[in-house]
């Protein structure tokens, strides 16, 4: 591992008993020698150590570190996913993470500096409302696709100009959908850059 990297996770692929027998799970097997074939996951030390320092200041002891993408995979893990190549897109507040998994093992990942906060900014700018009201409209009124939106569903919010504005679900959904399409198209491009192999699934998740 390079000096500027920190070991984050070790993901075992298979175990070798007595340099002969290859098994996935070596528990309860007798042998004189145990070997392992693994994927080693590393991250920049600067990123890892800054997070560790934050927790140490709170008197919280860190026992282990892993990537959020690995946690995402284990949320959806199944025997069929463990046999396929796929992608997980995690749409967060400020960033969107795209990760490639090959038979349950993370092989590549990339972070885009775009997320849910950009949707809030769009709504805030177009309707001249505060960020908190924009987030309220996104979470309580808007949908991800205009196909399901109902123009008769409305919410009244106050603008920065001191006016009361009635906003319907179809209009605000168009704003949200436009930004989501941009994010997902960027994610699609990243998937094509991260792997040349044919993928069997895409999972979209987020906070």
Q: Which of 47-51, 120-124, 162-166, 188-192 has the lowest mean pLDDT?
A: 47-51
Does residue 207 register a pLDDT over 80? Answer: no
Residues 106 and 39 sit within 8 Å (Cβ to Cβ) = yes
What is the average pLDDT across 62-70? 87
Give the confidence band of 77 by pLDDT, cuts at 50, 70, 90.
very high
Q: How far is CA 12 from the centre of its chain?
A: 22
Q: Rounded to the nearest 10 degrees, how much is the dihedral formed by the CA atoms of 181, 207, 45, 2?
A: -60
Residues 87 and 191 sit within 8 Å (Cβ to Cβ) = yes
What is the average pLDDT across 145-165? 95
Structure tokens at 99: 């990760």
Strands 34-44 and 85-91: unpaired
Burial 97-114 (b: 16+ CB within 10 A, else e): bbbbbeebbbebbebbeb
Give the confidence band of 28 by pLDDT, cuts at 50, 70, 90.
very high
pLDDT at 156: 96
Give the confidence band of 8 by pLDDT, cuts at 50, 70, 90.
confident
d(CA 196, CA 85): 11
């Amino acid at each position: 591992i390079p000096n500027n990297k920190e070991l984050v996770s070790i993901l075992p692929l298979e175990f070798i008993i007595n340099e002969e027998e290859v098994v996935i799970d070596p528990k309860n097997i007798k042998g004189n020698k145990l070997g392992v074939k693994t994927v080693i996951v590393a991250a920049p030390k600067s990123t890892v150590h800054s997070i560790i320092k934050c927790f140490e200041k709170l008197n919280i002891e860190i026992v282990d570190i892993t990537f959020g993408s690995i946690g995402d995979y284990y949320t959806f893990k199944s025997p069929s996913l463990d046999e396929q190549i796929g992608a997980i897109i995690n749409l967060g507040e400020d960033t969107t993470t795209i990760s490639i998994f090959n038979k349950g093992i993370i092989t590549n990942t990339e972070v885009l500096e775009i997320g849910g906060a950009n949707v809030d900014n769009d709504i805030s700018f177009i309707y001249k409302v505060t960020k908190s009201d924009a987030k309220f409209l996104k979470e309580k009124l808007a949908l991800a696709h205009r196909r399901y939106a109902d123009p008769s569903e409305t919410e009244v919010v106050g603008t920065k100009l001191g006016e009361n504005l009635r906003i319907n679900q179809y209009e605000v959904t168009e704003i949200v959908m436009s930004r989501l399409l941009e994010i997902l198209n960027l994610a699609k491009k990243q998937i094509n850059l991260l792997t040349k192999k044919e993928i069997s699934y895409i999972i979209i998740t987020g906070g």
